[in-house]
Amino acid sequence: MLTTYPKVVVIVLTWNSENHITECLASLRLLRYPNYEIIVVDNASKDRTPNIVKDSFPDVTLIINKKNLGFGGGFNVGIKEAINKKADYIVCLNSDVVVDEHFLLELVKVGELSEKVGGLCPIAYYYNQPNRINGAGGTVRIIHPKVFGCGEIDKGQYGKTKETRMLCGPALVLKRKALLDIGFFDTEYFYGPEDMDIALRLLKNGYRILFVSRAKLWHKGYGATGGKITSVNVYFSVRNMLLFAKKHANKIEWILFLTYFSLFYFPFLLFRFLIFRQKEKIKFSIKGIIKYLNPQLLPQDDVVVKNFNF
């Protein structure tokens, strides 16, 4: 049992999220935890998202960015505000998520077990299949990261709190002390493996990540792109796969990754797009490689997203 309640700041990042934000914030209002605040950081939405927050949730701190700063850049704005608010724990939440009422309480109870805990991983379920697991921790690897439990019906097989080597992408739960130690999100990715990147940085700096099975959320998935894998998804996936491997792989891992990427992954990707006549995705996958090799040859990431019709 907790005798004190560390302050938690929940940051919700939005971008054209009018179809999700009301349900997300309504679930946060029902949290049974006595010491938390909510910040919404809007990444220059073109829809009614900011107005919905202002009108329906006036108690929520709303920050509106002048342009789309991406996943990491947007959350970094919120993290700075959370630190100003003296947060002990910071939750970086996708806008297409609904949380259980005991979500924060269960996370903090586990987080307070040790100062070496830097990150916490809740269990995620599919929104449309509430008992089917979306993720229950996992292992970050340069090739084929492993998410535990994905697609499984919850029968209690992930019912224990345990060490894990992955954070939960829809809800990144981090201690302020750890963030100040390892640094904020890497903004170079813009949209991609920021969750895996920060998990590896936590582990490399001696912090533990604990999976908390009693902290539950339900995730709609691809909230920013309307539930579909777009050409922009392909662009960032290819580019960021290369960036992530280059940043974290040792020499042997880098050679193995390049072999896998050039001989298997990328040819298969192109073959699949050819079969389904998805010419635009072929173009964007090639652009992803070009952007990695020479960032100056293509527009900035916010322009790529802005000019693409989701």
Give me the domains of the chain, ranges plus CATH numbers. 8-225 (3.90.550.10), 231-306 (no CATH)
What confidence score (pLDDT) does residue 307 get?
56
Can you give the pTM of this predicted structure? 0.94
Length of the chain: 310
For 170-207, list the strands marked E by DSSP.
171-175
What confidence score (pLDDT) does residue 309 get?
42
Q: What is the pLDDT along the chain (310 residues), one digit of tens a residue?
A: 799 999 999 999 999 999 999 999 999 999 999 999 999 999 999 999 999 999 999 999 999 999 999 999 999 999 999 999 999 999 999 999 999 999 999 999 999 999 999 999 999 999 999 999 999 999 999 999 999 999 999 999 999 999 999 999 999 999 999 999 999 999 999 998 999 999 999 999 999 999 999 999 999 985 445 556 789 899 999 999 999 999 999 999 999 999 999 999 999 999 999 999 999 999 999 999 999 999 888 777 766 776 554 3
What confidence score (pLDDT) does residue 221 get?
83
